[in-house]
Structure 1
Amino acid sequence: MTGDTAAGTFDGLRAIVTGGSSGIGAAIVRRLRADGARVAVFDVQPVEDSPHSYRVDVADDASVVAAVAEVGDSFGGIDILVNNAGIGAQGTVADNCDEEWHRVFDINVVGTVRVSRAALPWLRKSSAAAIVNTCSIASRAGLPNRALYGATKGALYSLTLQMAADHVREGIRVNGVSPGTAATPWVQRLLDTADDPAAERTALDARQPHGRLVEADEVADAVAYLASPRAASTVGTVIEVDGGMSGLRLRPQE
């Protein structure tokens, strides 16, 4: 669903998007609002001039519980939760200390647990309840120097399926999206630190079969589908938005 064809899809629905101030999260917020949803944005660095923007650290349970309760009360309920907040990590298993492993897991995996746990009482009251988790191509494909990041996203992929099984009979659909390498500020920062940023960008483009980075708006389109009441029979699904990287095995170009 794109453009005017989706206008009004989320009329009357209330959503929370974590990590919603930039990149993929900001694109999801724009899309849901354009389609009629009332959206609260959770981020450690909220956009000051954005409506319903909350300073929330998903690693701090008190921060999460307070913000979810405030949104639920002010919106009169919560129908949709998009767990998009997360941080990156580089290196092999030898390159990060225990503290860094705990920190990244605490944000990328346990952060999703904290927000979902706080939102569940509100979602159980909704007739159109949906949770969408942002996973990653790194959850199912082995990428160099992504051991820690990939491990967290693999855990989130599995968590998505377990949550779907636990809550489907409560009327709460849980699904996920798995983006490929996307044109986001985090990826740009990685490119900026490369010895040859242009060559690194070319290599990232070529790694995905369609020959370019994924756009944040393309991921937002997939999230909008999964969160929409139109996807009422889509449960326990993780949509891959990766230009074919996870499933295609193309022959090298001559």
Structure 2
Amino acid sequence: MKIDYLTLFPEMFDGILNHSIMKRAQDKGVLQTNTVNFRDFAENKHNQVDDYPYGGGQGMVLKPEPVFNAMQAVEHTEATRVILMCPQGKPFNQALAQELSEAEHLVFICGHYEGYDERIRTQLVTDEVSIGDYVLTGGELPAMTMTDAIVRLIPGVLGNQQSHEDDSFQDGLLEFPQYTRPRSYLGHDVPDVLLSGNHAHIEQWRHEQKLINTWVKRPDLLEQYPLTTEDQKILETYKKQLKK
């Protein structure tokens, strides 16, 4: 995969791209990244990239020319996913991360100031994405967050390719509780089932815990999850136990 970032602050990406999973992916040749400062593509002597909005209003709006020119300088095809980081975009989730991890080329447009000239949105962008219902100063942090979530799903990036399959949201549920040594700590013990060696019972327990965790912490996720009759029995039993 190749990822290009169109940004006014390319140095912000140094931290995430040069450490941990991102660096490992690049060292393996699985990932190639590039930052482009679109201020370098401004068409005026002061390298101005923003201007006052037509019709009046607060703040400054990103001009189209620098971003369009920067996109022309980036090698891309019709298959390239051009992502605009924007609070108006569709919410980012694990399903979208999985979808984008299968792309060969991503371009993140990271804006600043009050907003974008609408022609950037309508003429360049394939995906408008938001990481939450709040507003940040710029698109760099959301782009980094998405990059981390996407790249770790690319085959060959993680040491154990199966390790992300039990992550929260991967199958629509939250993750089950995890334990390690010591067996007993401050009067709290590891559940016996995890020490039994019975893998079928362990898998059943983990599924039950995922259902319960999701119902307690994110019940909205269960509205989209295909609960089986057995799943419903597990939740009903848990609810009855709470009433005792």
**Looking at CA atoms only, which structure, 1 or 2, has the larger radius of gyration?**
2
| TM norm structure 1 | 0.27
Name the structure where helix makes up a greater proportion of residues.
Answer: 1
